[in-house]
């Protein structure tokens, strides 16, 4: 009997050891990829344009280059996408969700690297997309890769995919708590300790490694916003409602762009090239819409823009992002959505101030607008609240964040049943519902 027990305990100990090393490996791989991705973008921009970021590069570029460079980036990225178009395995957060929930979607590393390269080309050439997309997707693919190489079970591999996704998110935004909430609210849809604990460990490791190279502190800088009085919570509640409608409009514009540019009318690699050219046409008049939106967001939080310019920036960013994403350029819409929400919050605060309403600084409303837009698009209010808090480091804004994101989620769910991610799953025939009994999937 003792011998039999020892035989069982041995394999279990080996399995647990492999899994523990797997969590460590996924965290390190995800962090290394994120650092390399970000540094290579910065290095390339400095070497080719002498600018430190894509917005500055586009401002300095001649008008013809603002159109042709994004088009060329889309063309090259489309050519890479064409090479892997027939390979098995999906991409995007919705595929990671399906892989974690059902354990059946393949996330091949070669395809992920190829599409990450296509995304890199679109980003470095000025496409209006976020770099978080390839970082999050690579983290999930790293979990699958390590699970397969370590010979882990399907269930443990699914957990590694979730942990890798969290690590990629943390490496993209330097927000470890929000990264774990991304897994809980978006990827798994349920609180499962077997998945959350490895995600916590992987997130801590990935964040520590990224901060060692990219620097500590909130990526949008430390700021202090004050709540003038408890009555101002009513103003932030109104912002949550306005942001929900604005974000839903943005999401519908993305869907319209996909229906307009998809299909057989224009195939790879010409479709992404067209999207790059269309985004470049906006960049000609408004260089600030190039890239993921990081640079103008900082200016919004510091209230350095005029109201007419922010209104123009909001429209321009929506159009440029739709052109880039809907045409098939791989990348994320998470950070562009932050900019859309920030612009909505800034304009909302400016409108209240013009009406004589006593409110705090418009930068605070821009921050809450960022969170409300994310909540409206992902239906994940905790993720949105905690992420905005980690991005700013300001505890005083916590109550407005919680209230605005909750209302934005409620209204958004009434306007549209699915989040931006579950809508992709439903298009593939997979229903995704959250109930008091937990996650419910159907086909």
Identify the pLDDT of residue 1.
41
Does residue 50 have a pLDDT over 90? no
Q: Does CATH place domain 13-214 in 1.10.3080.10?
A: yes
Tell me the C-alpha distance between 137 and 332, whole Å: 10
Every domain of the chain and the residues it spans: 13-214, 232-429
Of the candidates 25, 133, 74, 41, the one whose C-alpha atom is nearest the C-alpha of residue 278 is 74
Of the candidates 107, 147, 184, 132, the one whose C-alpha atom is nearest the C-alpha of residue 382 is 184
Residue pair 283/206 in contact by the 8 Å Cβ criterion: no
Highest-scoring range by mean pLDDT, 46-50, 277-281, 323-327? 277-281
Q: Do domains 13-214 and 232-429 have the same CATH topology?
A: yes
Does residue 21 have a pLDDT over 50? yes
What's the rounded mean pLDDT across residues 7-31?
A: 83
Identify the pLDDT of residue 86.
63
Query: Residue 5: pLDDT band by 50, 70, 90 thresholds?
Result: very low
The strand pairing partners of 438, in sequence order, are 435
Does residue 10 have a pLDDT over 60? no
Is residue 284 exposed (0-12), middle (13-18) or buried (19+ Cβ within 10 Å)?
Answer: middle
pTM strictly above 0.85: yes
Does residue 440 have a pLDDT over 80? no
Of the candidates 173, 111, 177, the one whose C-alpha atom is nearest the C-alpha of residue 140 is 111
CB atoms within 10 A of CB 232: 20
3-class state of residue 275 by DSSP: helix
CB atoms within 10 A of CB 443: 8
Q: Tell me what the pLDDT averaged over the chain comes to.
A: 86
Tell me the C-alpha distance between 281 and 109, whole Å: 34
What's the start-to-end Cα distance of the chain, in Å?
A: 46
Tokens of 173: 């935004």
At the second CATH level, the architecture of 232-429 is Orthogonal Bundle (1.10)
Query: Residue 222: pLDDT band by 50, 70, 90 thresholds?
Result: low
Give 154-169 pLDDT, tens digit per residue: 889 999 999 999 999 9
């Amino acid at each position: 009997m003792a011998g039999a027990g020892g035989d069982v305990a041995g394999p279990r100990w080996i399995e647990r050891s492999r899994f523990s090393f797997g969590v460590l490996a996924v965290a390190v791989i995800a962090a290394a990829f994120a650092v390399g991705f970000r540094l290579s973008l910065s290095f390339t921009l400095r070497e080719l344009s002498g600018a430190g970021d894509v917005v500055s590069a586009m401002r300095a570029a001649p008008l013809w280059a603002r159109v042709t460079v994004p088009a060329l980036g889309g063309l090259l990225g489309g050519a890479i996408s064409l090479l892997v178009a027939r390979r098995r395995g999906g991409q995007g957060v919705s595929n990671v969700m399906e892989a974690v929930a059902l354990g059946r979607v393949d996330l091949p590393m070669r395809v992920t690297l190829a599409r990450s390269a296509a995304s890199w080309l679109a980003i470095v050439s000025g496409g209006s997309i976020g770099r978080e997309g390839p970082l999050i997707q690579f983290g999930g693919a790293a979990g699958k890769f390590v699970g397969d190489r370590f010979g882990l079970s399907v269930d443990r591999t699914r957990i590694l995919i979730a942990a890798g996704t969290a690590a990629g998110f943390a490496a993209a935004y330097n927000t470890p708590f929000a990264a774990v909430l991304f897994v809980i609210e978006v990827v798994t849809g349920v609180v499962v300790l077997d998945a959350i604990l490895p995600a916590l460990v992987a997130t801590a490791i990935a964040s520590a490694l990224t901060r060692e190279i990219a620097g500590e502190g909130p990526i949008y800088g430390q700021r202090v916003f004050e709540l003038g009085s408890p009555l101002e919570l009513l103003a932030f509640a109104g912002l949550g409602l306005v942001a929900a409608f604005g974000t839903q409009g943005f999401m519908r514009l993305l869907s319209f762009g996909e229906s307009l540019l998809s299909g057989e009318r224009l195939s790879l690699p010409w479709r992404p090239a067209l999207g790059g050219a269309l985004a470049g046409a906006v960049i000609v008049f408004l260089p600030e819409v190039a890239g993921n939106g990081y640079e103008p967001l900082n200016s919004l939080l510091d209230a350095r823009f005029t109201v007419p310019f922010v209104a123009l920036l909001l429209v321009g960013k929506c159009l440029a992002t739709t052109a880039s994403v809907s045409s098939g350029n791989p990348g994320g819409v998470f950070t562009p959505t932050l900019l859309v929400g920030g612009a909505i919050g800034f304009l909302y605060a400016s409108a209240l101030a013009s009406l004589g309403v006593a409110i705090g600084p418009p930068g605070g409303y821009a921050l809450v607008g960022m969170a409300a837009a994310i909540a409206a698009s992902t239906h994940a209010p905790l993720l949105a609240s905690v992420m905005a808090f980690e991005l700013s480091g300001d505890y005083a804004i916590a109550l407005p964040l919680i209230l605005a994101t909750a209302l934005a989620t409620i209204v958004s769910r009434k306007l549209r049943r699915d989040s931006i991610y579950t809508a992709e799953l439903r298009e593939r025939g997979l229903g995704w519902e959250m109930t008091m009994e937990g996650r419910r999937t159907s086909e």
